Amino acid sequence: MSTVLSALYLGPASGTAAVTTTLGAGWQVLAPETTPAAVLPLLPQVHAILDASMKVPLRQAELDTAVHLKLIATATTGADHIDSKALAARSIPLLTLKGQKQVLNELTPAAELSWMLLMACARHLRAANRHVEAGLWDREKFPGMLLKGRILGLIGCGRIGQWMSRYATAFGMRVIGYDPYLPETEWPATIERTDLDTLLQNAHAVSIHVHLSDETRGLVGPREFTLIRPGTILINTSRGAICDEDALLQALESGHLGGYGTDVLEGEPAIQTSRIWQYAQKHDNCLITPHIGGFSPDAVDIVLKFAATRIRDFFATQG
Ligand code: NAD
């Protein structure tokens, strides 16, 4: 390739080197601030866009100015901020991570955080840490749940659910799972398939790994909380609204639920009106992190290299 091609990279500055190295010789990488003011003036000169930020909407008007554009690759599964119809009208491919199982399956940060929440709840980490910070040292206040020999119930047995099943197996747990949509041929050997009621009645810890949809909103509701066995730890790194807030609060306040570990709250980031957040102000058995599950520079690096490789390969076949 004799002419130099221009790629517009939209993402964290720490990823520029990975993109530049992956694209290799023959490419100039433009990495502006991810604001419309900085990005839009560059559009007329770029041949490809690698978007990992989702911060700059690329609608018809903006795309019309990108006269040399041949390809957009995103390092995300969703790309609602890009006008795919305007691209299709010009036969410009939009390559997202949706369905790219070979790379998605390697991304473990949300699963690792889910496992951390489970362990932290099982060992009363929040309360124990506060106890020591207050200058106290009384281990009898924190009877831990032994995971070995216990049952983990997974609601949703896709990518993250399957990683959880591997961690649980390594800890000597038995794993049961409910997922009405996962075909039998893809069902993992580490999980025993079951129905939701049996799962709730038997699991000592339940972890939720489904997308939020009309069907899954309130999936764990008043009926489900009565089925859950007393003392169960519930983990939710999917979306807050998958648990019915009233029913969850009641299960926590009554002491029926042993603990709730979550990375997501309904209404986030406006969390102070969340009754779960309010509950956690006064109770240590509710552990909340600020939607950090998927956020790890190591994982970002993997998806950036994947997207940059797709751009490089696409142009290599263009001649
Ligand atoms: P996935 O698509 O690989 O798996 C989801 C599974 O849920 C699928 O196997 C599907 O068949 C199953 N499912 C669908 N409807 C169901 C239902 N009604 N009952 C039971 N199972 C059902 O998704 P994933 O990558 O494992 O992600 C799971 C969730 O984690 C998503 O909601 C995602 O948004 C969330 N997530 C959160 C973070 C974070 O930072 N906290 C990061 C990544 C993903």
> Would residue 239 show up in a list of annotated catalytic residues for this protein?
yes
184-221 tens-digit pLDDT: 999 999 999 999 999 999 999 999 999 999 999 999 99
Q: What is the pLDDT of residue 277?
A: 98
Q: CA torsion sign, 79 to 115 to 18 to 303?
A: negative
Q: Map residue 22 onto helix, strand or coil.
A: helix
> Hey, what domains does the chain have and what are their CATH numbers?
5-100+297-317 (3.40.50.720), 108-288 (3.40.50.720)
Single-letter amino acid code for the residue at 177? G
Q: How confident is the model at residue 108 (pLDDT cuts 50, 70, 90)?
A: very high
- Which of 76, 209, 303 maximizes ligand 1 atoms within 8 Å of its Cβ, making it the mutation to test the pocket? 209
Q: What is the pLDDT of residue 294?
A: 87
**What is the rounded distance in angstroms from the CA atom of residue 180 to the CA atom of residue 77?**
23
Q: How confident is the model at residue 77 (pLDDT cuts 50, 70, 90)?
A: confident
Give the pLDDT mean for 274-299: 94
Q: How confident is the model at residue 2 (pLDDT cuts 50, 70, 90)?
A: low
Give the pLDDT mean for 74-87: 92
231 within 8 A of 252, measured Cβ to Cβ: no
Give the pLDDT mean for 300-316: 96
Q: Is 240 in the pocket of ligand 1 (CB under 6 A)?
A: no
Say how many Å lie between the CA of residue 104 and the centre of ligand 1. Answer: 12
Using the atom order of ligand 1, give the atom closest to the CA of residue 161: 26
236-282 tens-digit pLDDT: 999 999 999 999 999 999 999 999 999 999 998 899 999 999 999 99
Q: Is 161 in the pocket of ligand 1 (CB under 6 A)?
A: yes
Task: Find the helix or strand (DSSP H, E) in which 192 lies.
Answer: strand 192-193
Q: What is the pLDDT of residue 78?
A: 78
Question: Which ranges of 51-136 does DSSP label H, i.e. alpha helix?
Answer: 60-65, 84-89, 101-104, 109-122, 125-133
Please name the residue whose Cα sits nearest to atom 19 of ligand 1: 179
Q: What is the pLDDT of residue 12?
A: 92
Q: 21-35, 81-95, 119-133, 294-308: lowest mean pLDDT where?
A: 294-308
Q: Is 181 in the pocket of ligand 1 (CB under 6 A)?
A: yes
- Which of 97, 105, 106, 160 maximizes ligand 1 atoms within 8 Å of its Cβ, making it the mutation to test the pocket? 160
Locate 34 and state its tokens.
């991810």
Choice among 209, 239, 310, 312 that is catalytic: 239
Using the atom order of ligand 1, give the atom closest to the CA of residue 239: 32
**What is the rounded distance in angstroms from the CA atom of residue 40 to the CA atom of residue 144?**
55
Res. 120: pLDDT tops 80:
yes
Res. 128: pLDDT tops 90:
yes
> Would residue 291 show up in a list of annotated catalytic residues for this protein?
yes
Q: How confident is the model at residue 290 (pLDDT cuts 50, 70, 90)?
A: very high
Q: What is the pLDDT of residue 319?
A: 66
Task: Write the DSSP symbol of residue 213.
Answer: -
Res. 308: pLDDT tops 80:
yes
Choice among 126, 204, 291, 312 that is catalytic: 291
Res. 54: pLDDT tops 90:
no
Res. 295: pLDDT tops 50:
yes
- Which of 211, 217, 235 maximizes ligand 1 atoms within 8 Å of its Cβ, making it the mutation to test the pocket? 211
Q: In terms of residues, how long is the chain?
A: 319
Per-chain mean pLDDT for the chain: 96
94 within 8 A of 74, measured Cβ to Cβ: yes
Give the pLDDT mean for 74-96: 94
Q: How confident is the model at residue 1 (pLDDT cuts 50, 70, 90)?
A: very low
Reading across the β-sheet that carries 5-10, which strands appear in turn?
27-30, 5-10, 48-51, 71-74, 94-95
Task: Find the helix or strand (DSSP H, E) in which 198 lies.
Answer: helix 196-202
